[in-house]
C-alpha cells in the first residue's frame, strides 16, 4: 500500500509510519518536521496544516492516517483534498464524559474547558464520518511506550529503576488501562490493510494500578526498590496532583473519573488489537526514559525532592 501519515515525526504517528514500513508499505509522512525526522525509509513532505496541505492536495493514497489532535479544520481539509481507499482518524477516549456519555461536539476549545479536547475530538469524528462513513475512528486510551513525551507512564519505570523508597498512591484496586504505542500503531496499519471501519475504543486490557505497578516493578525495579503506599488524603493534603503534570503521581485518578481507565477492550481485541505484556512496555519505556535523561525536568511525576519531603511525613 501507499500510506500517508498526517504526522509521522513523533510518538503514535511515527510508530504508525514505522509499523507500515515494517509491513512492506510505501510511507509518506506529512508534517512540518519540527518534532523530528520521519523514520528512515519514509518520505517526508513538509507541510504546515495551518497553511494547507500543499503538494498533497489532489493526491491519491491507499490509506491515510490522520492524528490531528485538536483542529477540525485540519481534519476537513485533509478529507476534502486527499483521496484514499481507507481512512483512519485517531481520536481519544476523552470524547466521553466522566459518566461515559459522549461530549457535545465543539469546533474550538474554550481555554478554561477541561473537556475542550474531547469536544473538539467529537466534532473531528463527526467531520470524518460525514465525509467517510467507512472510516476507522480509533478512540485511543492512554498510549504508553517508547517515544512518549508526556512523562506519565514513563515516570513509573524510571522511578522504580532508580530504587529506594518510592511513593505510590495507595489505591491498588483503581482501574488502570494502557496501550503500547507499538501495538496500537501496528493494529492501525493492519486495519487499513483489511479495510476495517467503524468507531472503536483503542484500549488495552482492563487492569488495576496495583497490578500494572507490580508488573513494572518486576520488569525494571531496582533490587532495593521499596514501594511505599501513601493514602490519597495524605497525598492531597501534601498538594500532590492526580494523573499528570508537575508534582503528580501519574496514572492516579481522581474519584469520579475512574471510567477513563476502564473501557471495554473487547471490540478492539475482536478487530485484531493484540497487546503485549506491561513488562515489555516497561522495559522499552525505561530505555526511552534513560535516553531522555532520568534527571531532566519532568512534565509529570514527583521530583526526588518532592518525594523525600513526602516520605518524611510517612512512618518508615
Ligand X SMILES: NC(=O)c1ccc[n+]([C@@H]2O[C@H](COP(=O)([O-])OP(=O)(O)OC[C@H]3O[C@@H](n4cnc5c(N)ncnc54)[C@H](OP(=O)(O)O)[C@@H]3O)[C@@H](O)[C@H]2O)c1
Query: What is the closest distance, in whole angstroms, from the C-beta atom of residue 214 to ligand X in the complex?
Result: 22
Establish if 7 lies at the interface with ligand X (CB under 6 A). Answer: yes
Establish if 35 lies at the interface with ligand X (CB under 6 A). Answer: yes
User: Among 67, 120, 123, 128, which residue sits at the site for ligand X (rule: CB under 6 A)?
Assistant: 67
Alpha helices for the chain (secondary structure H): 11-22, 72-81, 116-131, 155-162, 181-194, 209-220, 232-237, 266-270, 278-292, 304-311
User: Among 109, 143, 166, 203, which residue sits at the site for ligand X (rule: CB under 6 A)?
Assistant: 143
User: Among 3, 4, 11, 244, which residue sits at the site for ligand X (rule: CB under 6 A)?
Assistant: 11
Establish if 42 lies at the interface with ligand X (CB under 6 A). Answer: no
Query: What is the closest distance, in whole angstroms, from the C-beta atom of residue 311 to ligand X in the complex?
Result: 29
d(CA 282, CA 178): 11
Q: Which is nearer to ligand X, 18 or 171 (CB)?
A: 18
Residue 271 cell numbers, joined: 478487530
Establish if 261 lies at the interface with ligand X (CB under 6 A). Answer: no
Establish if 176 lies at the interface with ligand X (CB under 6 A). Answer: no
Q: Which is nearer to ligand X, 75 or 217 (CB)?
A: 75
Query: What is the closest distance, in whole angstroms, from the C-beta atom of residue 189 to ligand X in the complex?
Result: 14
Are 46 and 32 in contact by the 8 Å Cβ rule? The answer is yes
* 24 torsion bin: left (phi>0), alpha (psi -120 to 50), beta (else): left
d(CA 313, CA 316): 9
Are 95 and 69 in contact by the 8 Å Cβ rule? The answer is no
Q: Which is nearer to ligand X, 34 or 305 (CB)?
A: 34
Q: Which stretch binds ligand X (CB under 6 A): 47-55, 227-235, 243-251, 285-293?
A: 47-55
DSSP designation for 246:
B
Phi, psi (degrees; rounded to nearest 5) at 130: -65, -40
Residues that bind ligand X (CB under 6 A): 7-13, 31-35, 47-50, 67, 69, 90, 92, 140, 142-143, 150
Amino acid at each position: 500500500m501507499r500510506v500517508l501519515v498526517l504526522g509521522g515525526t513523533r510518538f503514535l504517528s511515527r510508530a504508525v509510519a514505522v509499523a507500515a514500513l515494517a509491513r512492506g508499505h510505501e510511507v509518506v509522512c506529512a508534517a512540518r518536521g519540527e518534532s523530528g525526522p520521519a523514520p528512515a525509509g519514509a518520505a517526508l513532505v513538509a507541510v504546515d496544516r495551518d497553511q494547507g496541505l500543499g503538494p498533497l492536495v489532489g493526491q491519491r493514497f491507499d490509506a491515510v492516517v490522520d492524528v490531528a489532535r485538536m483542529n477540525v479544520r485540519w481534519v476537513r481539509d485533509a478529507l476534502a483534498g486527499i483521496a484514499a481507499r481507507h481512512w483512519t482518524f485517531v481520536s481519544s477516549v476523552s470524547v466521553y464524559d466522566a459518566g461515559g456519555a459522549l461530549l457535545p461536539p465543539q469546533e474550538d476549545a474554550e481555554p478554561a474547558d477541561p473537556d475542550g479536547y474531547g469536544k473538539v475530538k467529537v466534532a473531528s469524528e463527526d467531520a470524518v464520518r460525514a465525509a467517510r462513513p467507512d472510516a476507522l475512528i480509533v478512540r485511543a486510551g492512554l498510549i504508553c511506550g517508547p517515544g512518549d513525551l508526556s512523562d506519565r507512564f514513563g515516570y513509573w519505570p524510571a522511578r522504580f529503576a532508580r530504587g529506594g523508597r518510592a511513593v505510590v498512591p495507595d489505591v491498588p484496586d483503581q482501574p488502570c488501562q494502557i496501550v503500547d504505542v507499538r501495538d496500537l500503531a501496528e493494529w492501525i496499519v493492519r486495519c487499513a490493510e483489511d479495510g476495517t471501519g467503524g468507531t472503536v475504543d483503542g484500549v488495552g486490557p482492563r487492569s488495576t494500578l496495583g497490578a500494572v505497578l507490580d508488573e513494572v516493578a518486576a520488569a525494571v525495579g531496582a533490587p532495593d526498590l521499596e514501594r511505599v503506599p501513601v493514602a490519597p488524603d495524605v497525598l492531597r493534603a501534601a498538594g500532590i496532583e492526580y494523573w499528570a503534570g508537575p508534582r503528580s503521581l501519574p496514572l492516579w485518578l481522581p474519584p469520579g473519573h475512574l471510567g477513563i481507565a476502564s473501557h471495554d477492550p473487547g471490540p478492539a481485541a475482536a478487530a485484531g488489537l493484540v497487546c503485549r505484556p506491561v513488562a515489555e512496555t516497561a522495559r522499552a519505556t525505561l530505555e526511552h526514559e534513560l535516553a531522555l535523561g532520568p534527571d531532566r525536568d519532568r512534565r509529570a511525576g514527583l521530583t526526588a525532592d518532592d518525594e523525600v519531603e513526602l516520605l518524611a511525613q510517612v512512618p518508615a
